[in-house]
């Protein structure tokens, strides 16, 4: 009997690369069928908060709010290694000025927003934009600075913007941990054996894409047709890494520390345990 699951991922290259083999039946899906929804990360966050997806790529910030309904898989996620959300501006701004400026952010439930609030507890109310509109918001002087995620870290300089601060670099400098950006969540009510099977399918999907890079890139290009191929490759290389294959003890430590820090700062309620599938 075929089991159907609603799967939500973003059209960003790291997600489409990771899930290429799974959603195109390049691997044996063990009788599971995945009905895929492609949405911007903040849209996925809201859909999960409403319980609308069985399996979903979620910002860790959003997962903390949805943890009563969802649990984290150990594969398929995104971690920054000495890099993460980046603050940029049109003209020179010093890091200590950030709490007092108008800053564009990619959503209130993003991990980028959580990191910004942890770094600058007194940050004033941000301006919300879709992530790929933030550079233009800064260039057109709608905002003094922007908090970039995804492939924008590779394009901002060509548009005349300058780096103010990489929150991932600062995170690593202070804590010597990778930055948990987004994880694959699955409804807690789903049977544990099925969760493990799906986790293993994602690992196999990553392995297939890694061994068949050209076809996986062609698929990813369908969802990012305006993106330069070299930028796409840089994006995948940066965010499909060792922690995507398996979160590992170090990755779990980073997630726990992020949540403990956010809870201590009253940014989230304490997430339901266990966070990860066993």
Query: Taken in order 10, 267, 170, 106, is the CA torsion positive or negative?
Result: positive
Q: How many CB atoms lie within 10 A of CB 263?
A: 14
Q: How many CB atoms lie within 10 A of CB 17?
A: 25
Q: How far is CA 29 from the centre of its chain?
A: 24
Q: What are phi and psi of 249, to 5 degrees?
A: -60, -40
Say which residue the tokens 């304490």 belong to: 270
- Assign 38 to helix, strand or coil: strand
Q: Which of 150, 175, 176, 235 is catalytic?
A: 150
The strand pairing partners of 9, in sequence order, are 38
Range 188-197, long-range pairs (CB < 8 A, 24+ positions): 188/68, 188/69, 188/70, 188/71, 190/54, 192/277, 192/278, 194/3, 195/71, 195/73, 195/277, 196/277, 197/30, 197/32
Q: Is 150 labeled as catalytic in the residue annotation? A: yes
3-state secondary structure 207-230: HHHHHCHHHHHHHHHHCCCCCCHH
Catalytic positions: 150
């Amino acid at each position: 009997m075929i089991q159907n699951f609603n799967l939500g991922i973003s059209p960003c290259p790291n997600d489409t690369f990771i899930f290429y083999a799974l959603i195109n039946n390049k691997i044996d899906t063990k009788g599971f069928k995945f009905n895929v929804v492609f949405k911007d990360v903040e849209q996925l966050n809201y859909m999960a908060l409403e319980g609308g997806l069985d399996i979903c790529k979620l910002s860790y910030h959003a997962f903390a709010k949805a943890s009563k309904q969802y649990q984290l898989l150990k594969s398929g996620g995104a971690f920054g290694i000495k890099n993460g959300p980046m603050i940029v501006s049109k003209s020179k701004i010093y890091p200590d000025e950030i709490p007092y400026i108008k800053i564009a952010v990619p959503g209130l439930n993003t991990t980028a927003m959580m990191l910004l609030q942890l770094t600058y507890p007194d940050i004033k109310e941000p301006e919300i934009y879709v992530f790929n509109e933030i550079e233009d918001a800064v260039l057109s002087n709608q905002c003094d600075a922007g908090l970039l995620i995804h492939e924008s870290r590779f394009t901002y300089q060509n548009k005349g913007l300058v780096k103010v601060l990489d929150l991932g670099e600062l995170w690593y400098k202070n804590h010597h941990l990778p930055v948990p950006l987004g994880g694959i969540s699955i409804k807690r009510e789903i049977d544990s054996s099925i969760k493990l099977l799906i986790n293993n399918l994602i690992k196999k999907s990553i392995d297939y894409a890694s061994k068949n890079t050209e076809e996986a890139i062609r698929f990813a290009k369908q969802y990012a047709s305006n993106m330069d191929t070299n930028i796409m490759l840089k994006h995948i290389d940066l965010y499909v890494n060792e922690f995507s294959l398996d979160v590992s003890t170090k990755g779990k430590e980073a997630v726990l520390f992020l949540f403990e820090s956010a809870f201590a700062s009253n940014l989230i309620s304490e997430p339901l345990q266990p966070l990860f599938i066993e």
